Amino acid sequence: MPYRLSILDKALVPEGTTPQQSLAETVASAQLADRLGFHRYWFAEHHGMPALGSTAPEALAAYVLASTQRIRVGSGGVMLQHYAPFKVAETFNLLAALAPGRVDLGIGKAPGGLPRATRALRSGLADAQPDFADKLRELDAFVFGRLGDEHPLAGALAGPAPAVPPAPILLGASAESAALAAELDWGFCYAGHFDGDPDRMAHAFRVYREATGRTPLLALVAFAAPSEAEAQRLVGPLRLYRVRLATGQKVNVGTPEAAAEFARQSGVADYSVEEIVPNVISGTGAQVRAALDEIHGRLGVEEFVMDAPVAAHDARRASLEELARAILPHVGGVARAAA
């Protein structure tokens, strides 16, 4: 099988719908992906954004695991900087005990929201936070029972211990993230939906492959419709902007206005904004397949994690069906008809 297809979902809340309606539609999309033969269904983590309903990916994952039969489900990803590694390990070990062999523990480094939401998440916690890499190493130790006797938290068991642990995957868009994933023997997913620069992507792939002998997953934006014109009309121009604060912090946002608001909430007047180009593929199912085939041939990608930028749930589900018809029969997927 040349490559697998998976889904990244932000639980979008389209204008004119309620969160309750939208979340029901999100669950229906995951059930459809399960029937069609997609490999994974991940939920992102975002805070303080009314148009995004995925504030707690572990809660959505639990509900969808109970509502599907085969597909792997997990986080894409938990924003570890906000949480104690022990609690994250407990949560995903519990999910893995409930749904053996189907749980993914995806971890990210970004804040997942504007600074006010970040401060609210950290209310009552110490201002000084451990280094992200150290928190990730601690999470790994709790999930897999590798906490040494010399560790100050030795003896803390993140149960229940599942027969099949959650699959650990680090999400990132840099060679440094690729090297950290390799150090821990974690999977690595390159965030091409945030940064599609081919040179940075190829470098991160090379770092991870040389260290592990494996190929990273690739997240990108992909959307299919019956015609190329219809796909382009629904997707529209997609831009992202990277805010760099004088403090060294950087984050990706959707508009220049959001960049200015991020800086304002951070209390920083000195900042820069760089437009970045995400990896976007749109068109008919055959056109998307051709584009994925090209990337597979160039980078050896064995799994694509696709984020659809279209808010309308009916269009998103139609895209899943179009992609399944055009691609999955050719790469070993199920591509069953929707029930």
In degrees, to the nearest 5, what angle opens at C-alpha 195 toward C-alphas 193 and 200?
135
| Predicted local distance difference test score (pLDDT) of residue 194 | 80
| Predicted local distance difference test score (pLDDT) of residue 235 | 84
Radius of gyration of the chain (CA): 19
| Predicted local distance difference test score (pLDDT) of residue 187 | 98
Contacts of 264 (CB under 8 A, 6+ apart): none
Closest CA to 53 of 271, 247, 296, 311: 311
Length reported for the chain: 339
Q: Is 293 exposed, middle or buried (0-12, 13-18, 19+ CB in 10 A)?
A: middle
CA distance linking residue 188 with residue 218, whole number of Å: 9
Contacts of 67 (CB under 8 A, 6+ apart): 27, 30, 31
| Predicted local distance difference test score (pLDDT) of residue 334 | 58
Given a cut of 50, the residues of the chain with pLDDT beneath it are 337-339
CA distance linking residue 317 with residue 270, whole number of Å: 42
Backbone phi and psi for residue 77, each to the nearest 5 degrees, phi listed first? -145, 175
- Tell me the three state secondary structure of residue 325: helix
Q: Are 109 and 177 in contact (CB under 8 A)?
A: yes
| Predicted local distance difference test score (pLDDT) of residue 317 | 96
What single DSSP character describes residue 267? T
| Predicted local distance difference test score (pLDDT) of residue 339 | 38
42: left (phi over 0), alpha (psi -120 to 50) or beta: beta
| Predicted local distance difference test score (pLDDT) of residue 237 | 64
In degrees, to the nearest 5, what angle opens at C-alpha 199 toward C-alphas 194 and 204?
70
What single DSSP character describes residue 336? P
> Would you give the distance in Å from CA 223 to the centre of its chain?
16
| Predicted local distance difference test score (pLDDT) of residue 128 | 65
**Beta-strand runs (E) in 72-133:** 72-75, 78-79, 103-108
- Look-up: residue for tokens 């900042």? 271
- Tell me the three state secondary structure of residue 243: strand
| Predicted local distance difference test score (pLDDT) of residue 143 | 96
Tell me the two tokens of residue 140. Answer: 């790994």
